[in-house]
Amino acid sequence: MKHYTTTSQKSRLRHRNNVHGQVSSHVAAGHTREIHTDAKTRYISACMTMIRSTIRSSFGGDVADILRSMKNIMMWAAKACLYPYAFLLGIVTIVVIFQLINIIDPPYVIKSKHGVDKVDYDDNPAGPPPTCNWNVHIFDRIRTLSKGSEFTPLMSKLKMVTNHRYAMGKPMICQGAPHQIPCSIRITLSLNETDLRNKDVVVFGMSATSMRDAIGMLASKRRTDPEQLWVFMTMQSPLEMRKLVPRIGSFPTHLLWSYMTSSDVVTPYAQYVTNEPMDTDNVTYGHYVRGKRKLVAWMGDNCDEKDFWPRKAYLTELRKHIHVDLYGECTNLTCLPRNSEQCGMLMSQYKFFLAFESSECREYITESFWLTALTHQSVPIVYGSKKDSYLKLAPPMSFIHISDFESPKALADYLMSLDKNDGLYSRFFKWRHSGSIKTRYPPFKPESLCKLLPYIEDMKIRKLEKETLSETKWFKSCRNKNISSIQSLRTWTPWK
């Protein structure tokens, strides 16, 4: 071992050690930079692989590609731990990509045994694959539509994509339209204005409350797609809509979808179909009297329901002359749910049912007439539409219209005379031997959206013009234009 004793020797030794240390530090730093660069490169490569695989998988590739890419990202981020926040960035990347895929929501793709991709459509009947594909957006809240049972079939088809955004898991095939060419539609639902982009059709109005947001959207003067078809769909009367949305008349639409026969798309509550008898010739007229131990029933939806004619006052006056059982939340008799079979069986024990609509509007004939009364063999006493609307749409000789009587007392006297004469009463069921009632609404079926296909095609060929709702026959179909004041029974006369 060599010993250094002099000061100069010790200085030379320290200098050599310092130089050697600096060289070692530079070498180590260079090696570390190489490791950092290698980790970054591999991380970026894994990210790009995952993105490519995700897109390929969403449009027909193998889902295993996504899983392998995710594994690579996690492995390099956790193993190297050299790229700051790599693990967190990997998670964020995956979440963002999957959210984009859910928003796009492509059809489910299945690999066939021959290696050819095929699309799995929702409830796809046997037939050729679709040759056209359209995106239909419903501008509404899932929470609002879920409150009523009429939209249950539609709600069951939708899944949550992101918060407040819903979409149909698989495209739905519409066979035979338009022009006998099968098309598919993909349904989305939200109240987000940005979700209207890249949609072929937007359906407004399924709930009245959503129309406030729609009108607010118009006030923002956001530019809309000129090739996008706007549809206003409602099963409520114009007066009810005006009460809930005062500015509803200013809303522009290409198509009107309602219960009225003059609408572009028609969905009646029900309809009378001839040549499909409900009863056979073996059913005698005595059958319609048997088991009916009660006389007249009325059913109210809620205590605070606003009428646009003196309906409650008329009912009060009628009860002075004939017994009427009242069903509803503000009475001592209940029958819930209203459209249930149990409630229908209860109504079938009554000879007469008061099918008084809340609004005096043409063709506004709801399920209380079709389902509660006619289907369950109770003679409906009707008012709301003019008598000619009932004559046009209802089965012949199936109802009693209050405009035929000078007063509630005169109506009561007629009902009591029918109660005492089984032959006269049974005449109101003669129609059941030549036709039947087909219920159309509720519920609202997703397949109903296929009715829009011919108009989508038309919109692409030639631009349809919008008109405000105040210009439509639906909006102008009501007797009372002033919804803020209702006539008293003393000055009111029935609409004839």
User: Over the range 251-269, which residues count as b (16 or more CB within 10 Å of their CB) and which as e?
Assistant: bebbbbbbbbeebbbbbbb
| Phi, psi (deg, nearest 5) at residue 108 | -65, 135
User: What is the 3-class SS of 333-396, one letter each residue?
Assistant: ECCCCCCCHHHHHHHCCEEEEEEECCCCECCCCCHHHHHHHHHHCCEEEEECCCHHHHHHHCCC
Structure tokens at 491: 């000055």
- Topology of domain 270-439, CATH: Rossmann fold (3.40.50)
Mean pLDDT of 29-38: 48
DSSP state of 478: B
DSSP state of 361: B
**Beta partners for residue 202, in sequence order:** 137, 230
The confidence score (pLDDT) of residue 230 equals 96
What's the CATH code, domain 120-266? 3.40.50
Mean pLDDT of 52-70: 44
70-74, 353-357, 440-444: range with lowest mean pLDDT: 70-74
Does residue 24 surpass a pLDDT of 80? no
The confidence score (pLDDT) of residue 170 equals 86
38-42, 142-146, 160-164, 319-323: range with lowest mean pLDDT: 38-42
For residue range 376-396, list pLDDT tens digits in order. 999 999 999 999 999 999 999
**Beta partners for residue 72, in sequence order:** none
SS3 310: coil
Give dist(CA 386, CA 397) in Å, integer: 16
- Amino acid identity, position 310: P
Q: DSSP for 136-186?
A: EEEES-HHHHTTSGGGHHHHTTEEEEETTEEEESS-EEETTTTTT--EEEE
Helices marked H in 188-340 — which ranges?
208-219, 238-244, 311-318
Mean pLDDT of 329-355: 87
Q: What is the dihedral of CA 372, 273, 286, 338, to 10 degrees?
A: -10
The confidence score (pLDDT) of residue 77 equals 53
> Percent of the chain at pLDDT above 70?
71
The confidence score (pLDDT) of residue 329 equals 78
Helices marked H in 59-137 — which ranges?
63-80, 86-104
Mean pLDDT of 30-41: 49
67-71, 158-162, 188-192, 234-238: range with lowest mean pLDDT: 67-71
- pLDDT tier at 2, thresholds 50, 70, 90: very low
The sign of the CA dihedral 213, 214, 218, 224 is positive
For residue range 239-289, list pLDDT tens digits in order. 999 999 999 999 999 999 999 999 999 999 999 999 999 988 788 878 899
- Amino acid identity, position 306: K
In angstroms, the Cα distances linking 406 to 109, 176, 409 are 67, 51, 8
For residue range 405-464, list pLDDT tens digits in order. 999 999 999 999 999 999 999 999 999 999 999 998 989 989 999 999 989 988 888 778
Structure tokens at 333: 């008799």
Residues in contact with 466: Cβ distance below 8 Å, sequence separation at least 6, in sequence order: 230, 252, 253, 254
The confidence score (pLDDT) of residue 285 equals 78
Q: Does residue 367 or residue 76 have the better pLDDT?
A: 367
The confidence score (pLDDT) of residue 382 equals 98
The confidence score (pLDDT) of residue 380 equals 98
The confidence score (pLDDT) of residue 255 equals 96
Residues in contact with 240: Cβ distance below 8 Å, sequence separation at least 6, in sequence order: 208, 358, 359
Give dist(CA 175, CA 59) in Å, integer: 24
Give dist(CA 294, CA 417) in Å, integer: 15
Does residue 496 surpass a pLDDT of 80? yes
The confidence score (pLDDT) of residue 10 equals 46
Residue bearing tokens 């000879």: 351
Q: Angle 86-104/63-80 helices, nearest 10 degrees?
A: 160
Q: Which residue in 208, 166, 210 sits closest to 190, CA to CA?
A: 166
For residue range 96-129, list pLDDT tens digits in order. 554 544 444 433 332 322 222 333 334 444 455 6
Residue bearing tokens 């005379």: 417
The confidence score (pLDDT) of residue 90 equals 58
Does residue 38 surpass a pLDDT of 70? no
Q: Angle 311-318/408-419 helices, nearest 10 degrees?
A: 50
6-20, 340-354, 369-383: range with lowest mean pLDDT: 6-20
Give dist(CA 409, CA 483) in Å, integer: 28
Structure tokens at 191: 């109240």
- pLDDT tier at 177, thresholds 50, 70, 90: low
| Phi, psi (deg, nearest 5) at residue 240 | -65, -40
Chain CA centroid to CA 18, Å: 78
Mean pLDDT of 151-175: 89
Give dist(CA 323, CA 295) in Å, integer: 7
SS3 133: strand
In angstroms, the Cα distances linking 463 to 368, 457, 459, 471 are 39, 10, 5, 19
- pLDDT tier at 135, thresholds 50, 70, 90: very high
Mean pLDDT across the chain, nearest whole number? Answer: 80
Determine whether 414 is exposed, middle or buried from the number of CB atoms within 10 Å of its CB (0-12, 13-18, 19+).
Answer: middle
DSSP state of 333: B
Q: Which residue in 260, 202, 271, 212 sits closest to 236, CA to CA?
A: 260
What's the CA angle centered on 313, arms 310 and 318, to 5 degrees? 120
What's the CA angle centered on 475, arms 472 and 481, to 5 degrees? 140
